[in-house]
Amino acid sequence: MLDQPFGISMRPPAERAAVLCGLAGWLPPRVVTNDELSQRLDTTDAWIRTRTGIGRRRFADPGQATSDLAVEAGRLALASAGQEHVDAVIVTTTTPDRSCPATAPLVASRLGLAGAAAFDVGAVCTGFVYGLAAAASLITAQVADSVLLIGADTYSTIVDPHDRTNAIIFGDGAGAVVLRAGHADERGAVGHFDLGSDGTGEELIMVAAGGSRQRSTPGPAEPQDRHFTMRGKEVYRHAVTRMAASARATLTLADRKVDEVDHLVPHQANLRILRTVADDLGLPAERLVTNVESVGNTGAASIPLALADAAAEHTIRPGERVLLTAFGGGLTWGSCLLTWPTLPPIAHPHDSGGTQAP
């Protein structure tokens, strides 16, 4: 069933690769604990921790939009790369500031990058891996010499606060990387990709209203259709099988064995899912990078935030091989293999929003 006849399998060309040269994460200040959620929802800290591994998450303040988080992460990533300019800015998000226009041009301008090409990528929780493939392709195709890619989401703006299953999972945040042109044998070279989708699973993760499907239907949208919905159990099963299969496909393409992977950095969906994927791949638990306990599921921001956490804590070291894998609405999935570069010290995302997590 998982043998896909289609999809993207991408190898980096030897002569010109995209190289990771800047990284940052940014979290809004407001920490929301499980106990706080338990005061207004029929749930408990114990249930949330046991079923998801999540202990707390951050929520954007009222009036704070995705671009506000994206700008902060983008600014820090540019500083980390020691760069003031890039040729292109890509924002990947499920919670754009508006349905029109895209969020990236605004973010670019606010970063002093007006004039750069700027566009959004939508692939829900796989957005960062899709965005990374788009950014790397701009560089390998010699269309750009440098790209800022930002994964940012404010799920607190679309999740029904009374929906106990989804309200406990999602958090807000942003993570960003800068890529420059370099060589495939350099540390930091972004390597092989596997990307795929299955739109027959559209209804498993969706916001029903707000798009042309609803607008072309007579009558106003029902209030509940404006909220994010997810059929958790089915999504869980797809997430496990798709992330593991995509990770394997990427390793096969790169002609690497699983024991050559130093760190698996999956989309931080749910700790049980992440452990099952690592187990399925035969990777020891200590090679699994996870920060879901402290941030929850931050959508397109989740992988760069996990990378920034791990880099700040020196869990990932230069020269180590890192495998990213993600799954999200669409359905979409994707994986990428890279070697870790030498980066300047990365600030811990938990210190970035102004409040230390408890």
Contact in structure between 240 and 247 (CB atoms under 8 Å): no
- Contacts (Cβ under 8 Å, ≥6 apart) of 32: 56, 57, 58, 59, 171
State how far the Cα of 90 lies from the Cα of 105, in Å rounded to an integer. 9
Helix 302-312 to helix 127-140 angle (10° resolution) is 80
Residue 307 is a binding residue for ligand UT7 (CB under 6 A): no
Q: What is the DSSP string of 60-91?
A: PPTT--HHHHHHHHHHHHHHHHT-S--SEEEE
How many whole angstroms separate alpha carbon 38 and alpha carbon 200?
A: 35
- Considering only 163-171, 191-199, 283-291, 331-339, which stretch makes contact with ligand UT7 by CB under 6 A? 163-171
Q: Is residue 125 within the footprint of ligand UT7 (CB under 6 A)?
A: yes
Active-site hit among 34, 166, 270, 297: 297
Q: Is 267 a catalytic residue?
A: yes
Instruction: State in angstroms the smallest separation of the CB of 50 from ligand UT7.
Output: 9
Task: Show contacts with ligand UT7 in window 229-268 (CB under 6 A).
Answer: 232-233, 235-236, 239
Residue 297 annotated among the catalytic residues of the structure: yes
Q: Tell me if 288 contacts ligand UT7 by CB under 6 A.
A: no
Query: Pick the catalytic residue: 227, 263, 267, 350?
Result: 267
Region near ligand UT7 per CB under 6 A, out of 47-55, 184-192, 281-289, 305-313: 47-55
- What gap in Å lies between CA 335 and CA 299, rounded to an integer? 15
Contact 12, 18 (CB under 8 A): yes
Number of residues in contact with ligand UT7 under rule CB under 6 A: 20
Is 21 annotated as catalytic? no
Active site residues: 125, 267, 297
* Residue ranges in contact with ligand UT7 by CB under 6 A: 43, 47, 51-52, 125, 164-165, 168-169, 232-233, 235-236, 239, 269-270, 273, 297, 327-328
